[in-house]
Amino acid sequence: MDAPSPSTPLPLAGEGGRCLNGLRVLVTRPEHQADPLCRLIEQHGGVAIRYPTLVIAEPRDWKPALAILDRLADYDLAIFTSVNAVDRALPLIQERGGFPARLDIAAIGQATARALERQGVTRCLRP
């Protein structure tokens, strides 16, 4: 089976929900986070090909990151780009007394917004 071109719309799910029927799907999520997406692809008849392009790791030197967190009051907006960002940064922010009252907080997507909410951040701009 030939893969569709980027401009070819994928077929809609049929009775069995197997809309990916044999399509190979490259999954670039970090290795430790790929399983749910790969299972979903396979449940819909696709072949998940794992190819992690990111590694989530601790910084070699925390000083620059901590210096930014210590100056949060100097910023107008803190944007969280992923659940990983929430998981890494929020404990450090909370250790430093939390977010300044006038700092707006944004999440790049719904999963990131939910991660913030689970940590008690309820005032969050979101798409």
* pLDDT for residue 16: 57
| Cβ–Cβ under 8 Å, residues 45 and 18 | yes
Sign of CA dihedral 69, 87, 29, 109: negative
Pairwise CA distance, residues 81 & 102, whole Å = 20
* pTM attached to this predicted model: 0.70
Residue 4 has pLDDT above 80, yes or no: no
| Cβ–Cβ under 8 Å, residues 92 and 70 | no
Reduce the DSSP state of residue 113 to 3 states and report it.
Answer: helix
| Cβ–Cβ under 8 Å, residues 88 and 59 | no
Residue 48 has pLDDT above 70, yes or no: yes
Kindly indicate the confidence band of residue 127, based on its pLDDT and cuts at 50, 70 and 90. confident
Residue 1 has pLDDT above 70, yes or no: no
Average pLDDT over all residues of the chain? 89
Tokens found for residue 121:
């951040």
Per the DSSP assignment, residues forming a β-bridge with 80 are: 107
Lowest mean pLDDT segment, chosen from 19-23, 63-67, 115-119: 19-23
